[in-house]
Amino acid sequence: MEHIRNLIKLAITCLFLFRNNYLIQVCATTTPSDATTLQTLLKGWQITSLNWNDGDPCGSQWQGVTCDQSTNTQVITLTLSGVGLQGVISPDIGNLSNLLALDLSFNPNLTGPLPNGLGKLSKLQTLNLQSCSFIGSIPAEIGSLKGLRSLTLNRNQLSGEIPPSLGKLTNVTLFDLSENKLSSIIPVSSGNNENVGLDNLTLATSLYLQNNSLSGALPLEICYLPNLVNLFLNGNNLSGSLPSDISQLQAIQILKLNENEFEGKIPVELNNLTTLYQLDLGGNRFNGTIPNLSNLQQLKLLRLSMNKFQPQLVPKWIGNLSMLQTLELNGDHFAGNVPFQLFNLPSLETLSLDGNRLNGTLTINSVANSLYYVSLQDNNIVNVTGLNLSNPISISLTGNPLCSNMSYDLVAKACSTMNIFSSWKATLTSCNISCGKDMALGLDCTCSFPLMFLVQFSAPSFSTINFSRINNLRVSLANHLMVSISGIWIGSANFTQDYQLVVDVHIFPYGSISFTQKKVADIMNQLSLQSFLLDEFGPYQIKSVILPPSTIYMAPTKKKSISTNGLIGVWVGVAAGLFILIGVSMYALWQKRRADKAEVTGKFFASWGPVPESGDTVQIKGARHFSILELKRATNNFSNSKEIGSGGYGKVYKGALPTGQVIAIKRAQAGSLQGTAEFKNEIELLSRVHHKNLVNLLGFCCDKGEQMLVYEYMPNGTLREHIFDHIEALTWQKRLEIALGSAKGLAYLHDLADPAIIHRDIKSANILLDEKFIAKVADFGLSKLAPVGERAHADGHISTQVKGTLGYLDPEYYMTQKLTEKSDVYSFGVVLLELITARPPIEKGAYIVRLMRDAWIEGDMVKVKSLLDPSLGSYSMRDMESLLNLSLCLVEESAVLRPSMSEVVRVLEKILSRISSSKTDDNHPAWAQNDGSRNHANDLYNDLGALSSSMEASFRFSRGFDMSAKDEPK
């Protein structure tokens, strides 16, 4: 059978070689080497939607192929952006010796290593391979392309070092290697014998290296690039001090060094960069005091949050930066009063000073018209003057003493949590028109095929998006792309957690139902190469593209005629092959259907290594791949009647498989708060851990742009629903059992998973309950693997951007960005307090941790009782005190004073075992007084005896118990 299959394949190959070669010989105009190279590329791309099997490349106008105008024989551009290429780039691509532009961007299934043959394209001016899935290292041979003006390899999975030879690209203006997995240092000419490095890029205006894993110091040589306007190094592991030579960047406008490990003092020489309009140094380890930067009069954004500055006053010189739109100084140890001048800055829109030590009275007597958001959460402000209900600004003082005063008449206005980043969503048109397949309704109520893309603005100077800005963006796009403004529709605009703005844009053709293929290529070329700036929105990247269906396939074109004998020869060969094709078509179709599932999924998860060979289903470490058709059938096409929940990621549906198994499907929606990274992360982690108190991931779906996760169905929903919606009353014992089950799941992640896993988003909404009310921890989208070996810090922490849910966040993690297992412990402590109080973590500006701790330390049992859930039922005083004291140990501000989850499990087991062994102590009324025969202090001490010595110290402090006392504590 295997021999027969091989003979059939050989016959089919010969047939197509005969046909294509004969056509080229009969009507060829393209240089033979170019034509052969294009055919070789096509074989590696596994795509049939191109018209590359008909005629001659230049003579038949092959899609994406442009030939020289003079002779029409040499291929000079190859532009196949977003056409669905799959597979790899053949090394033979270097034979296209006259190529001026190569654009294979936005083909996410185009993978494999970049071939060294790219270095042979000596005439190349544009190399655009962004937003694909290329792996491996960047070929050093690319440095041979001396005429290159634009290099965009961003948004791939490239790894290894940046080749110093790229410094030979002295004509490059746009240099973008961002969002890859590149490591090592930034190469400069002083670091190698060839004296080449990125400091040789003297014509570069934009150097984008953000979101990689680059390490080492910022080289002095980079600071002398004379034309550099945008320097993006954020999201790496760069360290050391910031050199004073940074002041030599005399053309710089945007400097993003945030989310690194820079330390030392901020050099005062930054004050010389008078062209600067964005400065972001947040998330580093800068110390000392902030220098005077009052010369930066063009500054629109200043972000210095989460550094290690010494306690200081908020600099008054900031009040002179008249162009400033966004000021963010969170977690920087500022003390004293908030300067009233800040509220009068004429352009300021957002002011954020969270997590500092600001105190006294906040004075807001006059406010600039531009000011939208003021966030001063978690400070020590005791009073506010000048604020009233008619004041248009949104302000949050949550976590300040002022908000603990329930009699404060502006609690509702000033003491609620707030997201300082606004969002935009368009209102759908009211036209009563139904459009055909793949068509959309434009603003002028006509149906057509739009070009759709997500554009990600990497450094907007504002955090407020409104109609005026949306309209300005439409006008700017229309002018630069030379399309009608009435054809530009913006569906949504949302800020990400790392301060980027993602905008959904549809461009409709004007006066026709579709763009020409040339117009689409022209628009994509301008957008991909950032050939223009979009006003105040700043630099951008195209995140994803959906081309109009009518432009993916090439319409038939008039070809040169060939002789009758030539036609006869061609079709005789075709007829001969037809008999063979009929014999194997069914077999091939069956094999293809089996392979398609594995191919799509395997390429989507290429970064995880090889995917197992395909069968009826694909397994990724035990998680099955579902087709979208299977999940549609399971949910009656995602019927509203099947919807059982929703959130920032999208919706959750209940479904049933043909086997009868009931499942829950989490389906991400466009613009979801959970991106591809979180989607993959959850699959990666849940498919490698198995425990009865962790939700069971059955599989996933990544077909046709969808992102769906399939879990075991949990009929009793989330713990949060039971606490706050009172779906079913939870007894005291049931609450303890749920707490114990959740703790066991977390303890498994911390102590038994290899490597350990930090969940990072523990909350009552992420604890699910099965039919027996067994608790299972869910939602691993934000989870992190604990570092091991050389990557592990001495104290076991991970330095990472702060993520999680407000109210559950570990304050030490928030302040230091050092994530440990103890961050989960803190969040679990908040869940325990929710469980017994039925109160959210933050309610009307009051923080349940602070309220409970104050009442507990004061020993005010009446106040403590008033905070508890009235529906708790009966419980023993001893058990409640044990659980309360444990909860407050978990939410200690210092991580070293918190127990491990394994210790928490032991304490909860002890409390539950006491309930099981003797019901008599548990049946007297809540908070009933004992007869004096039991020493509660010693009982509590014994209950917590499993904890470490640091926990014991915390326990004694929390209630002021004298362990030698014989009487009941007061």
Contacting residues for 44 by C-beta, under 8 A, at least 6 apart: 87, 88, 89, 90
Question: What pLDDT, on the 0 to 100 scale, is given for residue 567?
Answer: 46
CB 439 within 8 A of CB 485: no
Structure tokens at 139: 């070929």
Return the top range by mean pLDDT from 437-441, 738-742, 793-797, 963-967. 738-742
Task: Give catalytic status of residue 761 as yes or no.
Answer: yes
DSSP state of 242: P
| Domain 718-786+795-959, second-level architecture | Orthogonal Bundle (1.10)
**Of 69 and 793, the one with more pLDDT:** 69
**Of 502 and 591, the one with more pLDDT:** 502
**pLDDT tier, 332 (very low <50, low <70, confident <90, very high otherwise):** very high
**pLDDT tier, 485 (very low <50, low <70, confident <90, very high otherwise):** confident
State the Cα–Cα distance between residues 51 and 553, nearest whole angstrom. 7
**pLDDT tier, 738 (very low <50, low <70, confident <90, very high otherwise):** very high
- The pLDDT tens digits of the residues spanning 863-905 come to 888 889 888 888 888 889 899 999 999 999 888 889 999 999 9
State the Cα–Cα distance between residues 93 and 642, nearest whole angstrom. 50
pTM exceeds 0.75 for this model = no
Instruction: For residue 371, give Cα distances in angstroms to 313, 346, 368, 378.
Output: 22, 8, 6, 21
**pLDDT tier, 322 (very low <50, low <70, confident <90, very high otherwise):** very high
DSSP state of 694: B
- In three-state secondary structure terms, 111 is strand
DSSP-derived secondary structure for 654-668: EEE-TTS-EEEEEEE
**Of 264 and 670, the one with more pLDDT:** 264
Question: What pLDDT, on the 0 to 100 scale, is given for residue 563?
Answer: 44
**Of 418 and 541, the one with more pLDDT:** 541
Q: Which of 706, 690, 718, 688 is nearest to 635 (CA)?
A: 706
Is residue 161 predicted with pLDDT exceeding 80? Answer: yes
Pairing of strands 784-785, 757-758: antiparallel
Q: Which of 24, 32, 84 is nearest to 53 (CA)?
A: 24
- The pLDDT tens digits of the residues spanning 594-622 come to 444 444 444 444 444 433 333 333 345 56
Out of 92, 761, 824, 869, the active site residue is: 761
**pLDDT tier, 955 (very low <50, low <70, confident <90, very high otherwise):** very low
Question: What pLDDT, on the 0 to 100 scale, is given for residue 59?
Answer: 81
- The percentage of the chain sitting over the pLDDT mark of 90, rounded to a whole number, equals 38
- The pLDDT tens digits of the residues spanning 193-218 come to 889 999 999 999 999 999 999 999 99
Domain ranges of the chain: 423-428+436-552, 718-786+795-959
CB 276 within 8 A of CB 247: no
What count of Cα atoms within 13 Å lies in the side-chain half-sphere of residue 408?
26
Question: What pLDDT, on the 0 to 100 scale, is given for residue 84?
Answer: 85
Question: What pLDDT, on the 0 to 100 scale, is given for residue 24?
Answer: 39
Is residue 44 predicted with pLDDT exceeding 80? Answer: yes
Q: Which of 215, 318, 312, 298 is nearest to 254 (CA)?
A: 298
Over range 840-858, report the average pLDDT: 84
Is residue 566 predicted with pLDDT exceeding 50? Answer: no
Is residue 561 predicted with pLDDT exceeding 90? Answer: no
Over range 507-536, report the average pLDDT: 77
**Of 516 and 622, the one with more pLDDT:** 516
State the Cα–Cα distance between residues 65 and 123, nearest whole angstrom. 16
Question: What is the average pLDDT value for the chain, to the nearest integer?
Answer: 80
CB 383 within 8 A of CB 407: no
State the Cα–Cα distance between residues 921 and 930, nearest whole angstrom. 10
State the Cα–Cα distance between residues 34 and 94, nearest whole angstrom. 10
Question: What pLDDT, on the 0 to 100 scale, is given for residue 918?
Answer: 54
Q: In the CATH hierarchy, which top-level class contains the domain 423-428+436-552? A: alpha beta
Over range 638-645, report the average pLDDT: 86
Over range 512-523, report the average pLDDT: 81
**Of 372 and 919, the one with more pLDDT:** 372
